[in-house]
Amino acid sequence: MNAFAPSKGDAGPPALRPASGHGRRSSPFSWRWIDRLALAWAWTAGLLLCLIAGAIVVYMGIRGIQYLRPALLAERPAVGASQSETGGFLDPLEGTGILTLIGILLATPLGVCSALWITEYGRPSWLARIVETSIEVVAGTPDIVIALPPLFTATRDGLQAVPKHMREAAYAIGKTRIATIRRVLLPSVRSNIATGVTLGVSRTIGDTAIVVLLLGLTLRSEPQGSVPGIGLLRGTGSTLTTYVFQNSPAGEGAAPQKAYAAAFVLLVFVLALNLVVGRIGRRQADELGLGAAGAIV
Amino acid sequence: MLQRFRHPWTDDRAERTLGAASLIVGVVVVAMVAFVAVHAWPTFAHDGLSWLGPGGNLKDQTEAMQATGAHAPASAYHLNAWPIVYGTLLSTALAVLLALPLAVFSSIFIVELAPRRLRAIAIPVIRLLASVPSVVYGLIGVLVLVPFVGNHIVSDSEKAKYASEVQLNGYSLIVTVAILAVMITPIMVALICEALASVPKTWREGAIALGLNPLRAILAVVVRAARPAIVAAAVLATARALGEAVMVYMVSGVNFWSPRPGDGVTFFFEPLRTLASTIVAFAEGASAPALRSALYAFALLLLFSSLALSVAGYLIKLPLRKYQVRA
Amino acid sequence: MISTRRVLTALTVAGVLGAAAPVSASAATTITMSGATASYPLVSLLASKYVKTHKKARVKFRIAQGGAQVGVNDVSAGRVTIANVSRDPLPSDPAGLDFYPIAKYGICVVTNKGNTLGNLTASQLVSIFTGKVRSWSQVSGASASGTIDIESRTSVAGVLTSFQTLLLEGKKVSSVASEQSSEGLMRQAVEADPNAIGFISNYQSDKGGVHVVSVGGVTCSRSTVISGQYPGIARFYEVTKGKAKGAAAAFIAWITKAAPAKKIINTQWVTI
């Protein structure tokens, strides 16, 4: 699938195979300068982004491993005069888990249903416009369904990329629209939904403002009120993100080592989540015959 | 009872259910906008739209507002928020301008050009980048980039030249824009990669068969086919940049200064303040009604910007419709 | 036949509710607080000691920050029981608030470690922080050269108000200053910039990393705060709406009178 190396298997029937054995490769040096520039820029951009991403992740990894002890994951945060007394980050860990779970549980059905409705039905069109715009407005605000816009966008783009002929083939054999959605479209956009979920989870976890503005910023979870689930949510006040915030110079700065450890745990948490979701959403490209690229997930 | 759901649904029922889910989203967002608008009303009532304009010293105005009590005189509501509106527009526009080519070409690299092993590492790592909390980006900025810019890039003579007007100590436009660009690129890369990957392989092969070199084939066919997705990704990324508060708060200087393009290169090293970071700065201290309604007015402005952004995205995708199934 | 999906859903719901079960089964009093970042370390230590030694009272604490002004506004609106404030009462404060002083601290003027500025007179302080003097070359004794980078705090910070009142003769810090939102960020800013000057509480400056400047010939440390020589001595207050009542009153009384509380205060701060 790399554009520059022809795949070994499909040189064609013997009569059409070129005399030199492999297909003729187009050397970049024979292109116009603007194409060469674009090629250079693509490599530069790609490598630059990988370098920056790698540097940040590696730095956080090194610092985190330096300071992370397994005990930290099991202890509740406490107030103490010195580092050894300040406990671990069990509460923030729970808070992150709860926030992510609720955020995704709320956002996924809404996002997928809206994307389906917009692409497959979408009547009346002024309502469709309002819904799409509303979701894009949500993207700029801190709220618990911050996962909704990436999920919606990824699913909608995936649905729009499914070629018309697949739908028409389904209608031709008598399937209703909803049956087509269930049996043909949703499976083929599975990897897009997975991408959307990973992006959504990333945004939910990474947003400090949600916790600061909405959940109140305290160190430990103290359920408020008597309704169990909702009380815990309102009293959460602490996720790994805000724990990092408070222990870093931005907050009180008393325990930067713990902040590094917490940030590292956060990244591991996200990595694990990405792997799980990626596995679920892996696209069976051959099965569907879409001829699209290999699994991006 | 679950048996009912197993029977094949009719299209009507499906349409109504899906439509209802979509409607919930629409209704909730409209309600949120209405809530903010109601709380922002006093500022509009006293100032009309002139509070968006320049003039006056915003620092003094906000401090004056904080000091007023529950029954503030009409003059307390007066403010000229142009510096922060300008700061928001500037930082967002520059960040997106920087991030868009980076994201598009990185996606081309990842999907088409990268060797398999590099791609296998790059994709999870870039996804991880999307989940790094904004406070960590802020810390990287404060601990690494700001001292670097303040101590090594801005020269002493530059600092001395502007010393009486503004401090050039590293908390600047360039650091804000650079970090914003790095924050929004992973979202765009993830979405654009998906879009590029879903273009049928045969389209690209057809272009190569017609004699285009591989890169031009990619640009002319694959990227063009993915244009609606690129626009959608850009809209999402811009909305993120608009709403980013914590990181900008830490690296932008928290100074009501409008960077002046006339200053030449120094323009990039001047501090600024944005709408979102101002809201977060005062959010907890705002009990004075005048300040509260001013903050809600800023929030309303942000919501309207996202709205305008969404409409702009729609308008850009409109002419692309004739080549797509649906744009 | 019970479908696995139903069982899974039931288990998930049970799990979520179960996790939320450690909701306070008994009715405990909760003291909510918000306010200064500078007094947060002290107040959290006091609160946790109080909970440990007063298990029978069954008191819980919920401490948020935000800045001294935030605390004042919150307590006057009834959103919190006690406000932590790091400055003296102002005329613009809402009426009906009671200020209970609990500790003294010093506001230290700090510069970068590379800047060996020994001492500043009161008038030098004023001219530097109000922006009249903009270059280190005009300040005698400073080893830094170049423009002075003034680091200040955001307007909600109590330390800023105290600093302006005590050390700047009531004048305001120049508007060219960069505003930092917390003491930690302020210390970081001064540590990283050779030309910086700022102000933090003695608790933060004792952590090292910055150079502490004497004011009027007096160094800024715990001992000069105790002796009262240092000009920039501010107070932490616990503020309630009206006279403190109930659990809040008991807590404040404990802070001001009990020996364990005084021991905690005397580690980094000074008792009244």
Q: Does residue A115 form part of some domain?
A: yes
Q: Which CATH superfamily is domain B81-323 in?
A: MetI-like (1.10.3720.10)
Establish if A31 belongs to a structural domain: no
Separation of CA A57 from chain center: 16
**C neighbours by CB contacts (3+ pairs under 8 Å):** A, B
- Under the phi-then-psi rule, with left for phi > 0, alpha for psi from -120 to 50, and beta for the rest, what region is C49? alpha
| Single-letter amino acid, residue C29 | T
Nearest CB among B15, B194, B201 relative to A296 is that of B194
The low-confidence residues of chain B, meaning pLDDT below 70, are 1-7, 67-72, 284-287, 323-327
**Residue C198 has which token pair?**
């700022």
A71 C-beta neighbours (distance < 10 Å), count: 9
Contacts of A209 (CB under 8 A, 6+ apart): A142, B134, B243, B245, B246, B280
Q: What are the domain boundaries of chain B?
A: 81-323
Contact C149 B169 (CB under 8 A): yes
Residues 64-123 in A contacting B (C-alpha not used; CB under 8 Å): 109-110, 113-114, 116-121, 123
User: What is the CA C99 to chain-centroid distance, rounded?
Assistant: 16
Place C25 in a pLDDT band, splitting at 50, 70 and 90: very low
- Minimum CA–CA partner of C178 in chain B: B253
What's the pLDDT band for C17 if we cut at 50, 70, 90?
low
pLDDT for the residue numbered C45: 86
Q: Is residue A163 part of a domain?
A: yes
Q: Give the DSSP per-residue string, C11-61.
A: HHHHHHHHHT--S-SS--EEEEEEE-SSSHHHHHHHHHHHHHHTGGG-EEE
Ramachandran region of residue C221, left (φ > 0), alpha (ψ -120 to 50) or beta? beta
Gap from C156 CA to chain A (nearest CA, Å):
15
Candidate from C6, C77, C178 with C-beta closest to B167: C178
pLDDT by position in tens, chain A (length 297): 455 544 454 544 554 444 444 455 567 677 788 888 889 999 999 999 999 988 988 888 888 888 888 877 777 766 665 555 666 777 778 878 888 888 899 899 999 999 999 998 888 888 888 999 999 888 888 777 888 899 999 999 899 888 888 899 999 999 888 888 888 898 888 888 988 998 888 888 877 666 666 665 555 555 554 444 444 544 545 677 777 877 777 766 667 788 888 888 888 888 888 888 877 776 544 344 443 333 343
Residue ranges making up the domain that contains A197: 69-283
pLDDT the model gives residue A296? 41
- For B241, the closest chain A residue by CA position comes to A140
Please give the CATH architecture assigned to the domain spanning C30-103+236-271: 3-Layer(aba) Sandwich (3.40)
The DSSP bridge partners found for residue C210 are C112
Amino acid at A266: L
**B95 CB contacts (<8 Å, ≥6 apart)?**
B176, B177, B180, B181, B184, B241
Would you identify the CATH topology of the domain C105-233? D-Maltodextrin-Binding Protein; domain 2 (3.40.190)
pLDDT of residue B90: 92
B157 vs chain A: nearest CA distance in angstroms?
30
In angstroms, the CA A8 to CA A23 distance is 9
Name, in order, each residue with C-beta under 8 angstroms of C114's C-beta and a sequence gap of 6 or more.
Answer: C143, C144, C194, C211
Length of chain B: 327
Q: Where are the domains of chain C?
A: 30-103+236-271, 105-233
ipTM of this predicted complex?
0.84
Domain count, chain A: 1
Q: Is the peptide bond before B115 cis (omega within 30 degrees of 0)?
A: no
Backbone torsions φ then ψ of A36, nearest 5 degrees: -65, -40
Candidates B182, B189, B197; nearest CB to A293: B197
**pTM of model > 0.80:** yes
Tokens of B299: 């929030």
Inside any domain, residue A28? no
Rounded to 5 degrees, what angle do the CA atoms C77, C81, C85 make?
85
Strands C97-112 and C196-201, sheet pairing: antiparallel
Within an 8 Å CB–CB cutoff, is residue C77 touching chain B? yes
CATH number, residue A114? 1.10.3720.10
State how far residue B151 is from chain C, nearest Cα, in angstroms: 7
Using one digit for the tens of pLDDT, what is the confidence trace for C75-110?
A: 888 878 899 998 888 877 888 899 999 999 999 999
- CA distance linking residue C89 with residue B288, whole number of Å: 17
Cα separation, B139 vs A249, in Å, equals 8
Task: Show the CA angle centred on residue C47, arms to residues C41 and C51, nearest 5°.
Answer: 150
What are the φ/ψ torsions at residue C198 (nearest 5 degrees)? -155, -170
